Amino acid sequence: MYKVLVAICLATTAALVLSAKWSGSREGRNTFVFNNGLEVNSLDPHVITWKHDIRIANALFEGLMAFRVDPPAEGQRMGQLALTNGVAERYEISPDGRTYTFHLRGDARWSNGQPVTAEHFRWSWQRVLTPATAADYANLMFTIAGAQAYYHALADGRPASFDEVGVTALDERTLEVRLENPCAYFLDLTAFPPFFPVYPPLLAGHVEDGHPAFFNGITTYKDAWTNPDQIVTNGPFLLKEHGYKRQMVLEKSPLYWDRRHVALDRIRALAIEDFKASLHAYESGNCQYIDALPLPALRALTDGTARRKRADFYPENSFGTYFYRFNCQPTAAGLPNPLADVRLRRALALAVDRADIVAVAGGHQQPASVFIPPGLTVQDANGHPAPYPSPTGQKFDIAAARKLLVEAGYPGGRGLPELRLMYNTGYGHEAVAQRLQAMWKEQLGVQVSFIVKDGAAFGAALKKKELKEWHLGRGGWFGDYRDPTTFLDMFISGNGNNDSGYSNPRFDDLMRQAAGELDQTRRMDLYRQAEQLVIEQDAVILPLYHYVEHLMIAPEVQGAWPNQMGYLVLKQVAIQAGG
Protein backbone atom coordinates (compact mmCIF):
# COMPACT_ATOMS: atom_id res chain seq x y z
CA MET A 1 0.00 0.00 0.00
CA TYR A 2 2.73 2.49 0.92
CA LYS A 3 4.59 2.09 -2.38
CA VAL A 4 1.36 3.18 -4.06
CA LEU A 5 0.94 6.12 -1.71
CA VAL A 6 4.41 7.43 -2.45
CA ALA A 7 3.40 7.90 -6.10
CA ILE A 8 0.26 9.89 -5.33
CA CYS A 9 0.19 13.61 -6.08
CA LEU A 10 -2.48 15.71 -4.41
CA ALA A 11 -4.48 17.54 -7.04
CA THR A 12 -6.28 20.15 -4.96
CA THR A 13 -4.06 21.23 -2.09
CA ALA A 14 -6.12 24.28 -1.15
CA ALA A 15 -9.32 22.27 -0.84
CA LEU A 16 -7.50 19.64 1.18
CA VAL A 17 -5.93 21.89 3.78
CA LEU A 18 -9.00 24.07 4.18
CA SER A 19 -11.20 21.07 4.90
CA ALA A 20 -12.31 21.12 8.51
CA LYS A 21 -13.08 17.41 8.75
CA TRP A 22 -10.52 14.65 9.19
CA SER A 23 -11.59 11.37 7.63
CA GLY A 24 -10.83 9.18 10.65
CA SER A 25 -8.54 6.25 11.24
CA ARG A 26 -9.16 2.83 9.76
CA GLU A 27 -7.26 1.15 12.60
CA GLY A 28 -8.59 -0.39 15.76
CA ARG A 29 -9.38 1.82 18.75
CA ASN A 30 -6.15 1.12 20.64
CA THR A 31 -3.83 1.39 17.63
CA PHE A 32 -1.87 4.55 16.86
CA VAL A 33 -0.48 5.10 13.37
CA PHE A 34 2.07 7.85 12.77
CA ASN A 35 4.57 8.70 10.07
CA ASN A 36 8.13 8.43 11.36
CA GLY A 37 9.30 9.91 8.06
CA LEU A 38 12.35 7.77 7.37
CA GLU A 39 13.61 4.23 7.71
CA VAL A 40 15.52 3.94 10.98
CA ASN A 41 19.30 3.78 10.77
CA SER A 42 19.55 1.54 13.82
CA LEU A 43 17.63 0.35 16.86
CA ASP A 44 20.77 0.11 18.98
CA PRO A 45 20.21 2.89 21.55
CA HIS A 46 23.95 3.33 22.06
CA VAL A 47 24.74 4.35 18.48
CA ILE A 48 21.69 6.28 17.28
CA THR A 49 21.68 10.05 16.81
CA TRP A 50 18.76 10.75 14.45
CA LYS A 51 15.43 11.99 15.76
CA HIS A 52 13.34 9.29 14.05
CA ASP A 53 15.62 6.58 15.52
CA ILE A 54 15.44 8.06 19.02
CA ARG A 55 11.64 8.20 18.87
CA ILE A 56 11.44 4.42 18.38
CA ALA A 57 14.20 3.69 20.91
CA ASN A 58 12.27 5.62 23.56
CA ALA A 59 9.35 3.27 23.05
CA LEU A 60 11.41 0.07 23.20
CA PHE A 61 13.87 0.93 25.97
CA GLU A 62 13.87 2.92 29.20
CA GLY A 63 16.63 4.55 31.21
CA LEU A 64 16.94 5.36 34.89
CA MET A 65 14.85 8.46 34.25
CA ALA A 66 12.38 9.13 31.44
CA PHE A 67 10.86 12.08 29.65
CA ARG A 68 7.19 12.90 29.73
CA VAL A 69 5.19 15.70 28.15
CA ASP A 70 2.87 17.60 30.48
CA PRO A 71 -0.40 18.77 28.89
CA PRO A 72 -0.76 22.36 27.69
CA ALA A 73 -1.90 25.01 30.14
CA GLU A 74 -5.46 26.22 29.77
CA GLY A 75 -5.90 28.12 26.53
CA GLN A 76 -2.54 26.90 25.17
CA ARG A 77 -1.69 24.22 22.60
CA MET A 78 1.93 23.53 23.57
CA GLY A 79 2.87 20.91 26.16
CA GLN A 80 5.99 21.04 28.33
CA LEU A 81 8.71 18.40 28.39
CA ALA A 82 9.40 17.19 31.93
CA LEU A 83 11.43 14.51 33.67
CA THR A 84 9.98 11.55 35.51
CA ASN A 85 11.28 8.33 37.06
CA GLY A 86 11.99 5.43 34.74
CA VAL A 87 13.70 2.24 35.88
CA ALA A 88 14.92 4.17 38.92
CA GLU A 89 12.18 4.19 41.54
CA ARG A 90 14.04 6.87 43.48
CA TYR A 91 17.47 8.50 43.72
CA GLU A 92 19.63 10.56 46.06
CA ILE A 93 22.15 13.28 45.22
CA SER A 94 25.06 14.00 47.53
CA PRO A 95 25.35 17.52 49.03
CA ASP A 96 28.29 18.34 46.75
CA GLY A 97 26.27 17.32 43.64
CA ARG A 98 28.87 14.78 42.55
CA THR A 99 27.37 11.43 43.60
CA TYR A 100 24.03 10.03 42.42
CA THR A 101 22.60 6.87 43.94
CA PHE A 102 19.79 5.24 41.93
CA HIS A 103 17.47 2.62 43.40
CA LEU A 104 15.99 0.39 40.70
CA ARG A 105 12.43 -0.87 40.72
CA GLY A 106 11.93 -4.43 41.83
CA ASP A 107 9.38 -4.99 39.06
CA ALA A 108 11.50 -3.61 36.19
CA ARG A 109 11.74 -6.47 33.70
CA TRP A 110 13.25 -7.26 30.34
CA SER A 111 10.87 -8.51 27.69
CA ASN A 112 12.13 -12.06 28.34
CA GLY A 113 11.07 -11.85 31.98
CA GLN A 114 14.51 -11.33 33.51
CA PRO A 115 14.97 -8.48 36.04
CA VAL A 116 16.71 -5.26 34.99
CA THR A 117 19.71 -4.91 37.28
CA ALA A 118 22.26 -2.27 38.22
CA GLU A 119 24.96 -4.41 36.62
CA HIS A 120 23.09 -4.22 33.30
CA PHE A 121 23.39 -0.43 33.43
CA ARG A 122 27.06 -0.62 34.36
CA TRP A 123 27.76 -3.08 31.51
CA SER A 124 25.82 -0.95 29.03
CA TRP A 125 27.58 2.28 29.97
CA GLN A 126 30.92 0.50 29.65
CA ARG A 127 29.86 -0.54 26.15
CA VAL A 128 29.12 3.09 25.22
CA LEU A 129 32.56 4.08 26.50
CA THR A 130 34.24 1.40 24.37
CA PRO A 131 35.50 3.09 21.17
CA ALA A 132 34.67 0.08 18.98
CA THR A 133 30.97 0.64 19.72
CA ALA A 134 31.26 3.89 17.72
CA ALA A 135 28.79 5.68 19.99
CA ASP A 136 28.60 9.25 18.72
CA TYR A 137 27.22 10.38 22.08
CA ALA A 138 29.95 8.71 24.15
CA ASN A 139 31.16 12.15 25.18
CA LEU A 140 27.96 12.69 27.20
CA MET A 141 29.32 10.14 29.65
CA PHE A 142 32.49 12.18 30.13
CA THR A 143 30.60 13.93 32.95
CA ILE A 144 31.22 10.71 34.91
CA ALA A 145 34.47 10.51 36.90
CA GLY A 146 37.20 8.69 34.96
CA ALA A 147 35.03 8.11 31.87
CA GLN A 148 36.97 10.33 29.49
CA ALA A 149 40.33 8.92 30.56
CA TYR A 150 39.02 5.36 30.14
CA TYR A 151 37.65 6.06 26.65
CA HIS A 152 40.81 7.73 25.38
CA ALA A 153 43.05 5.04 26.85
CA LEU A 154 41.18 2.37 24.89
CA ALA A 155 41.15 4.55 21.77
CA ASP A 156 44.94 4.90 22.04
CA GLY A 157 45.42 1.17 22.59
CA ARG A 158 46.50 1.57 26.20
CA PRO A 159 45.23 -0.69 29.02
CA ALA A 160 42.38 0.69 31.12
CA SER A 161 40.13 -0.63 33.86
CA PHE A 162 36.46 0.29 34.07
CA ASP A 163 36.80 -0.03 37.84
CA GLU A 164 38.41 3.42 37.68
CA VAL A 165 35.23 4.89 36.19
CA GLY A 166 32.64 6.26 38.60
CA VAL A 167 29.92 3.69 37.90
CA THR A 168 29.37 1.03 40.57
CA ALA A 169 26.65 -1.58 41.00
CA LEU A 170 26.42 -1.60 44.81
CA ASP A 171 23.94 -4.46 44.64
CA GLU A 172 21.41 -5.86 42.17
CA ARG A 173 19.12 -2.83 42.50
CA THR A 174 21.46 0.02 43.46
CA LEU A 175 23.65 1.97 41.04
CA GLU A 176 26.09 4.62 42.25
CA VAL A 177 27.39 7.22 39.79
CA ARG A 178 30.21 9.64 40.66
CA LEU A 179 30.71 12.73 38.50
CA GLU A 180 33.81 14.76 37.68
CA ASN A 181 31.94 17.97 38.51
CA PRO A 182 28.36 18.79 39.48
CA CYS A 183 26.18 18.56 36.37
CA ALA A 184 22.79 20.27 36.53
CA TYR A 185 21.41 18.22 33.62
CA PHE A 186 22.78 14.80 34.55
CA LEU A 187 19.33 13.39 35.36
CA ASP A 188 18.17 14.48 31.91
CA LEU A 189 21.08 12.55 30.39
CA THR A 190 19.96 9.33 32.08
CA ALA A 191 16.68 9.58 30.12
CA PHE A 192 18.56 9.72 26.81
CA PRO A 193 19.27 6.57 24.67
CA PRO A 194 23.07 6.36 25.19
CA PHE A 195 22.30 5.83 28.88
CA PHE A 196 19.70 3.10 28.25
CA PRO A 197 20.52 -0.46 29.31
CA VAL A 198 20.82 -3.27 26.80
CA TYR A 199 20.58 -6.95 27.75
CA PRO A 200 24.18 -8.26 28.05
CA PRO A 201 23.51 -11.99 27.44
CA LEU A 202 21.79 -11.12 24.16
CA LEU A 203 24.73 -9.13 22.83
CA ALA A 204 27.18 -11.75 24.05
CA GLY A 205 25.66 -14.07 21.44
CA HIS A 206 26.24 -11.56 18.68
CA VAL A 207 29.94 -10.74 19.00
CA GLU A 208 31.63 -10.25 15.63
CA ASP A 209 33.83 -13.11 14.48
CA GLY A 210 37.36 -12.79 15.77
CA HIS A 211 36.44 -10.56 18.71
CA PRO A 212 35.47 -12.91 21.55
CA ALA A 213 36.57 -10.71 24.45
CA PHE A 214 34.43 -7.96 25.90
CA PHE A 215 35.65 -4.37 26.06
CA ASN A 216 39.19 -4.92 24.92
CA GLY A 217 38.94 -1.82 22.75
CA ILE A 218 37.99 -3.71 19.57
CA THR A 219 34.83 -5.61 20.52
CA THR A 220 31.98 -5.13 18.05
CA TYR A 221 28.56 -6.71 17.71
CA LYS A 222 26.48 -7.91 14.80
CA ASP A 223 23.33 -5.90 14.10
CA ALA A 224 21.08 -8.97 14.11
CA TRP A 225 20.40 -8.59 17.84
CA THR A 226 17.94 -5.78 17.02
CA ASN A 227 15.80 -7.96 14.74
CA PRO A 228 12.19 -8.44 15.93
CA ASP A 229 12.68 -12.15 16.60
CA GLN A 230 15.75 -11.57 18.78
CA ILE A 231 15.72 -8.14 20.42
CA VAL A 232 15.22 -7.97 24.19
CA THR A 233 13.95 -4.63 25.51
CA ASN A 234 12.77 -3.10 28.79
CA GLY A 235 10.46 -0.32 27.59
CA PRO A 236 6.68 0.05 27.28
CA PHE A 237 6.51 -1.57 23.82
CA LEU A 238 7.89 -4.60 21.99
CA LEU A 239 9.13 -4.72 18.41
CA LYS A 240 6.88 -7.16 16.54
CA GLU A 241 7.55 -6.35 12.87
CA HIS A 242 10.06 -4.36 10.85
CA GLY A 243 9.28 -3.95 7.16
CA TYR A 244 12.27 -2.16 5.65
CA LYS A 245 11.30 1.32 4.38
CA ARG A 246 7.64 0.50 4.99
CA GLN A 247 6.70 0.31 8.64
CA MET A 248 7.53 -0.92 12.11
CA VAL A 249 4.90 -2.51 14.32
CA LEU A 250 5.16 -2.19 18.09
CA GLU A 251 2.92 -3.87 20.67
CA LYS A 252 2.37 -3.16 24.34
CA SER A 253 4.74 -5.06 26.61
CA PRO A 254 2.92 -7.27 29.12
CA LEU A 255 5.98 -7.15 31.43
CA TYR A 256 6.64 -3.40 31.54
CA TRP A 257 6.49 -2.15 35.13
CA ASP A 258 4.09 0.73 34.33
CA ARG A 259 1.92 -1.12 31.80
CA ARG A 260 -1.33 0.00 33.43
CA HIS A 261 -0.56 3.53 32.26
CA VAL A 262 0.14 2.44 28.66
CA ALA A 263 -3.14 2.92 26.79
CA LEU A 264 -2.12 1.72 23.33
CA ASP A 265 -2.12 -1.94 22.35
CA ARG A 266 -0.38 -1.39 19.04
CA ILE A 267 1.64 1.21 17.14
CA ARG A 268 2.43 1.39 13.45
CA ALA A 269 5.34 3.66 12.62
CA LEU A 270 5.31 4.37 8.89
CA ALA A 271 8.41 5.29 6.87
CA ILE A 272 6.90 7.57 4.21
CA GLU A 273 9.53 10.04 2.99
CA ASP A 274 7.38 11.81 0.41
CA PHE A 275 5.49 14.74 1.97
CA LYS A 276 2.54 14.51 -0.41
CA ALA A 277 2.12 10.81 0.23
CA SER A 278 2.35 11.40 3.98
CA LEU A 279 -0.36 14.06 3.89
CA HIS A 280 -2.53 11.86 1.71
CA ALA A 281 -2.16 9.02 4.21
CA TYR A 282 -3.28 11.38 6.98
CA GLU A 283 -6.25 12.81 5.10
CA SER A 284 -7.42 9.37 3.97
CA GLY A 285 -7.40 7.96 7.50
CA ASN A 286 -4.34 5.73 7.11
CA CYS A 287 -2.24 7.80 9.53
CA GLN A 288 -3.05 9.86 12.63
CA TYR A 289 0.07 11.97 13.10
CA ILE A 290 2.51 13.59 10.67
CA ASP A 291 5.20 16.18 11.35
CA ALA A 292 6.02 17.52 7.87
CA LEU A 293 3.94 18.85 4.99
CA PRO A 294 4.46 19.57 1.28
CA LEU A 295 5.19 23.22 0.62
CA PRO A 296 1.88 24.13 -1.12
CA ALA A 297 -0.12 22.66 1.75
CA LEU A 298 2.16 24.30 4.30
CA ARG A 299 1.72 27.71 2.70
CA ALA A 300 -2.04 27.30 2.62
CA LEU A 301 -2.16 26.14 6.22
CA THR A 302 0.02 28.93 7.56
CA ASP A 303 -2.38 31.48 6.12
CA GLY A 304 -4.33 32.88 9.06
CA THR A 305 -7.72 31.96 7.65
CA ALA A 306 -6.75 28.39 6.90
CA ARG A 307 -5.16 27.93 10.31
CA ARG A 308 -8.40 28.80 12.07
CA LYS A 309 -10.25 26.22 10.01
CA ARG A 310 -7.94 23.33 10.87
CA ALA A 311 -7.87 22.63 14.58
CA ASP A 312 -5.71 19.56 13.90
CA PHE A 313 -2.84 21.71 12.57
CA TYR A 314 -0.10 22.64 15.07
CA PRO A 315 2.69 25.03 13.99
CA GLU A 316 5.11 25.27 16.92
CA ASN A 317 8.58 26.72 17.52
CA SER A 318 11.09 23.97 18.22
CA PHE A 319 14.43 23.69 20.02
CA GLY A 320 16.23 22.85 16.81
CA THR A 321 18.21 24.34 13.94
CA TYR A 322 18.49 23.60 10.21
CA PHE A 323 22.03 24.14 8.96
CA TYR A 324 24.83 23.06 6.65
CA ARG A 325 28.18 21.73 7.79
CA PHE A 326 31.41 22.86 6.19
CA ASN A 327 33.98 20.12 5.71
CA CYS A 328 37.00 21.49 7.59
CA GLN A 329 39.32 18.58 6.80
CA PRO A 330 42.37 19.03 4.53
CA THR A 331 40.87 16.95 1.72
CA ALA A 332 37.44 16.42 0.16
CA ALA A 333 36.50 14.08 -2.68
CA GLY A 334 40.13 12.93 -2.75
CA LEU A 335 41.50 16.41 -3.51
CA PRO A 336 42.77 19.36 -1.46
CA ASN A 337 39.77 20.92 0.28
CA PRO A 338 39.41 24.67 -0.34
CA LEU A 339 37.04 24.90 2.63
CA ALA A 340 39.92 24.10 4.96
CA ASP A 341 40.55 27.86 4.54
CA VAL A 342 38.33 29.66 7.05
CA ARG A 343 38.21 32.73 4.78
CA LEU A 344 36.26 30.80 2.16
CA ARG A 345 33.87 29.37 4.76
CA ARG A 346 33.21 32.85 6.14
CA ALA A 347 32.73 34.24 2.62
CA LEU A 348 30.07 31.64 1.83
CA ALA A 349 28.31 32.30 5.15
CA LEU A 350 28.28 36.08 4.61
CA ALA A 351 26.70 35.66 1.16
CA VAL A 352 23.56 33.88 2.41
CA ASP A 353 20.32 35.85 2.69
CA ARG A 354 18.42 33.87 5.31
CA ALA A 355 15.19 35.77 4.67
CA ASP A 356 15.30 34.34 1.16
CA ILE A 357 16.04 30.86 2.49
CA VAL A 358 13.07 30.80 4.88
CA ALA A 359 10.81 32.07 2.09
CA VAL A 360 11.86 29.04 0.04
CA ALA A 361 11.51 26.66 3.01
CA GLY A 362 8.04 27.99 3.86
CA GLY A 363 6.13 27.51 7.07
CA HIS A 364 7.30 30.69 8.78
CA GLN A 365 10.67 29.18 9.81
CA GLN A 366 12.78 31.56 11.93
CA PRO A 367 16.01 32.84 10.30
CA ALA A 368 19.07 31.68 12.25
CA SER A 369 22.42 33.43 12.48
CA VAL A 370 23.51 31.24 15.41
CA PHE A 371 23.23 27.54 16.24
CA ILE A 372 21.51 27.54 19.64
CA PRO A 373 17.84 28.58 19.34
CA PRO A 374 16.76 31.69 21.30
CA GLY A 375 15.15 31.58 24.72
CA LEU A 376 17.38 29.01 26.42
CA THR A 377 17.47 29.47 30.20
CA VAL A 378 19.00 27.24 32.88
CA GLN A 379 18.67 27.49 36.64
CA ASP A 380 21.36 28.14 39.22
CA ALA A 381 21.73 26.24 42.49
CA ASN A 382 19.08 28.45 44.11
CA GLY A 383 16.56 27.95 41.33
CA HIS A 384 17.13 31.41 39.84
CA PRO A 385 17.10 31.70 36.03
CA ALA A 386 20.39 32.09 34.18
CA PRO A 387 19.58 32.94 30.55
CA TYR A 388 21.95 32.03 27.76
CA PRO A 389 23.23 35.23 26.04
CA SER A 390 23.42 34.41 22.32
CA PRO A 391 26.27 35.91 20.27
CA THR A 392 25.48 38.07 17.24
CA GLY A 393 26.21 35.26 14.82
CA GLN A 394 26.72 35.30 11.07
CA LYS A 395 25.65 38.39 9.10
CA PHE A 396 24.51 38.97 5.53
CA ASP A 397 27.17 41.15 3.93
CA ILE A 398 27.92 40.64 0.24
CA ALA A 399 30.75 43.20 0.13
CA ALA A 400 32.55 41.51 3.03
CA ALA A 401 31.98 38.10 1.43
CA ARG A 402 33.57 39.21 -1.85
CA LYS A 403 36.52 40.73 -0.02
CA LEU A 404 37.19 37.46 1.83
CA LEU A 405 36.90 35.54 -1.43
CA VAL A 406 39.64 37.73 -2.90
CA GLU A 407 41.80 37.23 0.20
CA ALA A 408 41.36 33.46 -0.14
CA GLY A 409 42.66 33.68 -3.72
CA TYR A 410 39.40 33.26 -5.63
CA PRO A 411 38.30 36.68 -6.93
CA GLY A 412 34.86 36.37 -8.47
CA GLY A 413 35.07 32.63 -7.81
CA ARG A 414 37.84 32.21 -10.40
CA GLY A 415 40.18 29.31 -9.72
CA LEU A 416 37.89 27.76 -7.13
CA PRO A 417 37.01 24.13 -7.86
CA GLU A 418 33.34 23.19 -7.94
CA LEU A 419 32.02 22.58 -4.44
CA ARG A 420 29.99 19.43 -3.73
CA LEU A 421 26.93 19.97 -1.54
CA MET A 422 25.28 16.86 -0.09
CA TYR A 423 21.72 16.55 1.15
CA ASN A 424 19.27 13.73 1.77
CA THR A 425 16.04 13.05 -0.06
CA GLY A 426 12.71 14.23 1.30
CA TYR A 427 11.73 16.98 3.73
CA GLY A 428 12.07 19.81 1.15
CA HIS A 429 15.88 19.84 1.25
CA GLU A 430 16.19 20.17 -2.53
CA ALA A 431 14.59 23.62 -2.67
CA VAL A 432 16.91 25.02 0.02
CA ALA A 433 19.97 23.47 -1.65
CA GLN A 434 19.04 24.95 -5.01
CA ARG A 435 18.60 28.42 -3.51
CA LEU A 436 22.02 28.24 -1.83
CA GLN A 437 23.52 27.14 -5.14
CA ALA A 438 21.94 30.10 -6.92
CA MET A 439 22.99 32.63 -4.24
CA TRP A 440 26.64 31.61 -4.31
CA LYS A 441 26.77 31.60 -8.11
CA GLU A 442 25.04 34.97 -8.44
CA GLN A 443 26.86 36.79 -5.64
CA LEU A 444 30.30 35.16 -5.61
CA GLY A 445 30.69 33.24 -8.86
CA VAL A 446 31.05 30.01 -6.87
CA GLN A 447 29.92 26.82 -8.61
CA VAL A 448 28.12 24.16 -6.56
CA SER A 449 27.01 20.65 -7.58
CA PHE A 450 24.80 18.25 -5.62
CA ILE A 451 25.21 14.82 -4.06
CA VAL A 452 21.78 13.42 -3.19
CA LYS A 453 21.38 10.30 -1.04
CA ASP A 454 18.58 8.55 0.83
CA GLY A 455 18.52 8.52 4.63
CA ALA A 456 20.83 5.63 5.50
CA ALA A 457 23.38 6.29 2.74
CA PHE A 458 23.37 10.01 3.56
CA GLY A 459 24.04 9.34 7.24
CA ALA A 460 26.92 7.01 6.43
CA ALA A 461 28.50 9.49 4.01
CA LEU A 462 28.09 12.37 6.44
CA LYS A 463 29.74 10.55 9.31
CA LYS A 464 32.63 9.08 7.34
CA LYS A 465 35.70 10.17 9.26
CA GLU A 466 38.18 10.07 6.40
CA LEU A 467 37.96 10.73 2.65
CA LYS A 468 34.71 12.64 2.82
CA GLU A 469 33.18 13.15 -0.63
CA TRP A 470 31.36 16.39 0.25
CA HIS A 471 32.33 19.99 0.91
CA LEU A 472 29.00 20.98 2.47
CA GLY A 473 26.64 18.57 4.19
CA ARG A 474 23.07 19.23 5.28
CA GLY A 475 22.33 19.07 9.00
CA GLY A 476 19.42 19.35 11.36
CA TRP A 477 19.83 19.30 15.12
CA PHE A 478 17.30 19.24 17.95
CA GLY A 479 18.43 19.79 21.52
CA ASP A 480 18.28 16.67 23.65
CA TYR A 481 18.13 18.56 26.96
CA ARG A 482 17.96 22.19 28.09
CA ASP A 483 21.61 23.23 28.14
CA PRO A 484 24.03 24.81 25.62
CA THR A 485 26.13 21.64 25.61
CA THR A 486 23.43 19.76 23.71
CA PHE A 487 24.37 21.92 20.70
CA LEU A 488 28.02 22.82 21.33
CA ASP A 489 29.51 19.47 22.36
CA MET A 490 29.53 18.31 18.75
CA PHE A 491 32.34 20.76 17.91
CA ILE A 492 34.76 19.38 20.51
CA SER A 493 37.80 17.77 18.85
CA GLY A 494 37.11 14.09 18.24
CA ASN A 495 33.44 14.21 19.24
CA GLY A 496 31.41 11.48 17.55
CA ASN A 497 29.02 14.06 16.07
CA ASN A 498 31.82 16.34 14.83
CA ASP A 499 31.15 15.49 11.19
CA SER A 500 32.94 18.63 9.97
CA GLY A 501 36.29 17.36 11.28
CA TYR A 502 36.74 20.65 13.13
CA SER A 503 39.38 21.07 15.82
CA ASN A 504 40.34 24.23 17.71
CA PRO A 505 42.18 24.00 21.07
CA ARG A 506 40.71 27.35 22.12
CA PHE A 507 37.16 26.04 21.65
CA ASP A 508 37.98 22.83 23.53
CA ASP A 509 39.45 24.87 26.38
CA LEU A 510 36.35 27.08 26.65
CA MET A 511 34.17 23.96 26.85
CA ARG A 512 36.40 22.48 29.57
CA GLN A 513 36.27 25.72 31.57
CA ALA A 514 32.50 25.86 31.30
CA ALA A 515 32.11 22.22 32.38
CA GLY A 516 33.91 22.97 35.65
CA GLU A 517 32.26 26.36 36.30
CA LEU A 518 29.70 26.28 39.14
CA ASP A 519 28.44 29.84 38.69
CA GLN A 520 25.72 29.47 36.05
CA THR A 521 25.92 33.05 34.77
CA ARG A 522 29.68 32.74 34.15
CA ARG A 523 29.13 29.27 32.71
CA MET A 524 26.59 30.62 30.20
CA ASP A 525 29.03 33.36 29.15
CA LEU A 526 31.77 30.81 28.50
CA TYR A 527 29.40 28.92 26.24
CA ARG A 528 28.54 32.19 24.49
CA GLN A 529 32.23 32.71 23.77
CA ALA A 530 32.49 29.13 22.48
CA GLU A 531 29.53 29.54 20.13
CA GLN A 532 30.84 32.89 18.93
CA LEU A 533 34.17 31.24 18.07
CA VAL A 534 32.67 28.33 16.17
CA ILE A 535 30.00 30.35 14.32
CA GLU A 536 31.50 33.80 13.71
CA GLN A 537 35.26 33.35 13.69
CA ASP A 538 35.70 29.78 12.42
CA ALA A 539 32.41 29.40 10.47
CA VAL A 540 32.26 25.66 11.01
CA ILE A 541 28.58 25.50 10.10
CA LEU A 542 26.08 27.62 8.22
CA PRO A 543 22.93 28.00 10.39
CA LEU A 544 19.92 28.78 8.21
CA TYR A 545 16.79 28.69 10.34
CA HIS A 546 15.41 27.60 13.69
CA TYR A 547 12.72 25.02 13.13
CA VAL A 548 9.03 25.68 13.30
CA GLU A 549 7.52 22.20 13.31
CA HIS A 550 4.21 21.63 11.55
CA LEU A 551 2.17 18.79 12.98
CA MET A 552 -1.15 17.32 11.91
CA ILE A 553 -2.69 15.38 14.79
CA ALA A 554 -6.01 13.60 14.38
CA PRO A 555 -8.70 14.74 16.85
CA GLU A 556 -9.03 11.26 18.33
CA VAL A 557 -5.37 11.20 19.40
CA GLN A 558 -4.74 12.18 23.01
CA GLY A 559 -1.42 12.72 24.77
CA ALA A 560 0.67 13.52 21.67
CA TRP A 561 1.07 17.11 22.75
CA PRO A 562 3.39 19.32 20.69
CA ASN A 563 6.35 20.63 22.69
CA GLN A 564 9.41 22.74 21.98
CA MET A 565 11.77 19.78 22.32
CA GLY A 566 9.86 17.88 19.62
CA TYR A 567 9.28 14.73 21.69
CA LEU A 568 6.51 12.29 20.82
CA VAL A 569 6.30 10.12 23.94
CA LEU A 570 4.48 7.06 22.63
CA LYS A 571 3.86 5.71 26.12
CA GLN A 572 1.53 8.65 26.76
CA VAL A 573 -0.51 8.42 23.56
CA ALA A 574 -4.11 7.22 23.77
CA ILE A 575 -6.99 6.98 21.32
CA GLN A 576 -10.15 8.73 22.48
CA ALA A 577 -13.27 6.60 22.76
CA GLY A 578 -15.44 7.03 19.70
CA GLY A 579 -12.45 8.13 17.57
Helix or strand (DSSP H, E) at 126:
helix 118-128
Q: Which of the residue ranges 43-47, 314-318, 341-345, 453-457 would you say has the lowest mean pLDDT? A: 453-457
pLDDT at 26: 55
Domains of the chain: which residue ranges? 1-61+235-312+555-579, 77-221, 317-548
- Whether the pLDDT of residue 305 is over 80: the answer is no
Binned at pLDDT 50, 70 and 90, residue 306 comes out as: low
Residues 84-121 pLDDT 10s = 999 999 999 999 999 999 999 999 999 999 999 999 99
CATH topology of domain 1-61+235-312+555-579: D-Maltodextrin-Binding Protein; domain 2 (3.40.190)
In degrees and rounded to multiples of 5, residue 547 shows phi and psi of -65, 140
Q: Distance from CA of residue 10 to its chain's centroid? A: 30
User: 198-202, 332-336, 531-535: lowest mean pLDDT where?
Assistant: 332-336
Least confident window among 4-18, 271-285, 470-484? 4-18
Pick the CATH number of 77-221 from 3.40.50.10420, 3.40.50.880, 3.90.76.10, 3.90.1300.10: 3.90.76.10
pLDDT range class, residue 472, cuts 50, 70, 90? very high
* Residue count (the chain): 579
Q: CB of 436 within 8 A of CB of 352?
A: yes
238-273 pLDDT, tens digit per residue, is 999 999 999 999 999 999 999 999 999 999 999 999
Q: What is the mean pLDDT of the chain?
A: 90
The alpha helices in 136-190, defined as continuous H runs, are: 147-155, 186-189
How far apart, in whole angstroms, are the C-alpha atoms of residue 174 and residue 176? 7
Dist CA 558 CA 552 (whole Å): 13
pLDDT band at 578 (very low <50, low <70, confident <90, very high): low
pLDDT number for residue 221: 53
Closest CA to 317 of 360, 276, 356, 363: 363
Specify whether the CB–CB gap between 236 and 571 falls below 8 A.
yes
Residue 45 CA to its chain's centroid (Å): 12
Q: What is the pLDDT of residues 332-390, one digit of tens each?
A: 988 999 999 999 999 999 999 999 999 999 888 999 999 999 999 988 777 788 999 99
Paired residues of 420 in beta bridges: 449
206 close to 224: Cβ distance less than 8 angstroms: yes
pLDDT reported for residue 18? 44
The pLDDT assigned to 363 comes to 86
Task: Determine the 3-state secondary structure of 494 from DSSP.
Answer: coil
pLDDT 10s digits, 125-142: 999 999 999 999 999 999
Amino acid type, 42: S
| Cα 132 from Cα 137, distance rounded (Å) | 13
Q: How far apart are CA 299 and CA 520, in angstroms?
A: 41
Encode pLDDT of 365-377 as tens digits. Answer: 999 999 999 999 9
- Taking the C-alpha atoms of residue 85 and residue 92, their distance in angstroms, rounded to an integer, is 12
pLDDT band at 4 (very low <50, low <70, confident <90, very high): very low
Percent of the chain surpassing pLDDT 90: 78
Looking from the CA of 336 toward its CB, the CA atoms found within 13 Å total 4
Domain 317-548 has CATH 3.10.105.10: yes
Q: Which DSSP category does 312 fall into?
A: T
Q: What integer pLDDT is reported at residue 11 of this predicted model?
A: 41
Residues 6 or more apart in contact with residue 240 via CB below 8 angstroms: 228, 249, 250, 251
What sign does the CA torsion over 221, 222, 223, 228 have?
Answer: negative
Q: Nearest Cα to 568, choosing from 544, 545, 552?
A: 552
Strands 65-70 and 80-85: antiparallel
**Three-state SS across 66-80?**
EEEEECCCCCCCCCE
Residues in contact with 97: Cβ distance below 8 Å, sequence separation at least 6, in sequence order:
179, 182, 183
Neighbouring-strand partners of residue 207: 221
Residues 6+ apart with CB under 8 A from 223: 42, 44
Indicate if the pLDDT at residue 425 is higher than 90: no
